[in-house]
């Protein structure tokens, strides 16, 4: 006989302790199942589309990246691009001597040519000194010429006349002494005194000496000056000429001359200031040659060599390439200068490279950033 509830429990089966739900019909059980399956199908369908879209985007990105890498790799194999700055040589011009400046003939930015006079010094004291030295040279030159020419014919004739006169006096003196000596012998000393005889003998000896001197003078006139006198005169002439050359050099140095074709970058002294060898008057920038100072890493160093052709562009003229060549590759590595803006090279050791440039229009300025493109040789691409 059943009680109020139809539930049946089985003490031996724990699961039987749970209440048993009332049975439901098939229609009522199927309806909730259909409503529960509908959301899961919707999410699965959109999840699949989302995953497929992500896969397509990834494939596109990978393909674009590979294509870019391929293009970059091909470009790097055919060309090496370096970045640097334009550099050129500079000259500080100063006078060799200390004097006051009277003229400065050029301004900043002026183009000057080799041999052009750029400035002048005061020469009011130097020119008289040069004139005095020139006169001394002329006087010494005349003395040397006289030594080389020897005695004039008139001087030789005068020496010959002196010889003849001395000979006549010697003959007369000898005859006088002979007569007096004979007279003393005939008169046994009564007609002439011993003193008169000695005086005649002295006169004869003196005349003989004068004759010998005249003969030697004639010989000297015929031979001419001594070689030592000529050498002394020539040495003095060279000394005077050297002094004159020094003063003329100082006069030439009073004009400051351009050593080469260049551009005036700075005018440092003005007329009225005192110039010295330690104080530059002008600063010149040499317009030829110009070069781009760039830096290359060790991994790229083997791809370039001196004489290699190059193409150089600047930010001011990006579409105008100037021809150049690799003129210098440093043999010593250095840390990358701060001026190099390539991030990959900032902390690496690099080698300096100078790429010389033909710049006929003088468009490149000192320090201007420039890009250098080097066409690599086939053997250097690997």
Condensed to tens digits (0 to 9), the pLDDT of residues 163-193 reads 888 888 888 888 888 888 787 777 665 667 7
Phi, psi of 328 (to 5 degrees): -155, 135
Q: pLDDT for 58-68, tens place per residue?
A: 666 565 444 44
Cα dist. 360→88, 290, 292 in Å?
14, 11, 15
* Share above pLDDT 70 across residues of the chain, in percent, rounded to a whole number: 75
Question: Which letter does DSSP use for residue 21 in this model?
Answer: P
Q: Which CB contacts under 8 angstroms, 24+ apart, belong to 126-130?
A: 126/247, 126/250, 126/251, 126/254, 127/251, 129/247, 130/244, 130/247, 130/248, 130/250, 130/251
Whether residue 201 contacts residue 242, with contact meaning beta carbons closer than 8 Å, is answered with no
pLDDT-derived band of residue 343, with 50, 70 and 90 as boundaries? low
Q: Is the pTM of this model over 0.85?
A: no
Ordered domains of the chain (ranges, CATH): 79-90+288-380 (2.40.30.170)
pLDDT higher than 80, residue 97: yes
Closest by CA to 352, choosing from 297, 295, 291, is: 295
pLDDT at residue 55 in the model: 75
pLDDT at residue 47 in the model: 66
pLDDT at residue 191 in the model: 65
The crossing angle, in degrees rounded to 10, of helices 153-187 and 194-223 is 160
Dihedral sign, CA of 298, 300, 303, 308? negative
pLDDT-derived band of residue 18, with 50, 70 and 90 as boundaries? very low
| Separation of alpha carbons 81 and 376, rounded Å | 10
Mean pLDDT for the chain overall? 79
Q: pLDDT for 123-137, tens place per residue?
A: 999 999 999 999 999
């Amino acid at each position: 006989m059943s009680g109020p509830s139809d539930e049946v429990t089985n003490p031996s089966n724990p699961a039987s302790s749970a209440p048993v739900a009332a049975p439901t019909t098939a229609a009522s059980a199927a309806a909730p199942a259909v409503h529960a399956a509908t959301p899961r199908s919707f999410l699965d369908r959109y999840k699949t589309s989302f995953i497929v879209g992500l896969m397509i985007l990834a494939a596109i990105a990978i393909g674009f990246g590979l294509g870019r890498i391929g293009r970059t790799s091909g470009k790097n194999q055919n060309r090496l691009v370096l970045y640097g700055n334009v550099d050129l040589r500079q000259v500080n011009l100063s006078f060799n001597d200390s004097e006051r400046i009277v003229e400065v003939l050029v301004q900043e930015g002026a183009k000057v040519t080799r041999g052009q006079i750029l400035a002048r010094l005061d020469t009011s004291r130097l020119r008289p000194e040069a004139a005095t030295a020139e006169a001394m040279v002329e006087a010494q030159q005349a003395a040397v010429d006289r030594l080389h020419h020897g005695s004039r014919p008139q001087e030789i004739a005068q020496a010959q006349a002196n010889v003849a006169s001395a000979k006549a006096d010697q003959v007369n003196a000898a005859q006088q002494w002979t007569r007096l000596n004979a007279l003393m012998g005939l008169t046994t000393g009564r007609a002439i005194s011993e003193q008169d005889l000695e005086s005649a003998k002295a006169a004869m000896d003196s005349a003989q000496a004068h004759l010998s001197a005249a003969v030697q003078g004639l010989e000297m006139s015929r031979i001419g000056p001594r070689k030592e006198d000529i050498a002394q005169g020539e040495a003095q002439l060279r000394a005077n000429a050297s002094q004159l050359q020094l003063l003329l050099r100082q006069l030439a140095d009073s004009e400051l001359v351009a050593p080469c074709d260049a551009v005036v970058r700075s005018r440092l002294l003005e007329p009225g200031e005192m110039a010295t060898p330690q104080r530059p008057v002008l600063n010149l920038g040499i317009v030829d040659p110009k070069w781009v100072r760039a830096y290359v890493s060790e991994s790229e160093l083997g791809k370039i060599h001196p004489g290699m052709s190059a193409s150089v562009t600047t930010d001011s003229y990006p579409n105008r390439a100037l021809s150049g060549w690799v003129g210098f590759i440093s043999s010593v590595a250095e840390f990358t200068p701060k001026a190099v803006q390539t991030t990959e090279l900032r902390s690496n050791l690099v080698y300096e490279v100078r790429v010389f440039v033909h710049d006929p229009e003088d468009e490149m300025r000192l320090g201007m950033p420039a890009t250098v493109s080097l066409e690599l040789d086939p053997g250097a691409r690997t």
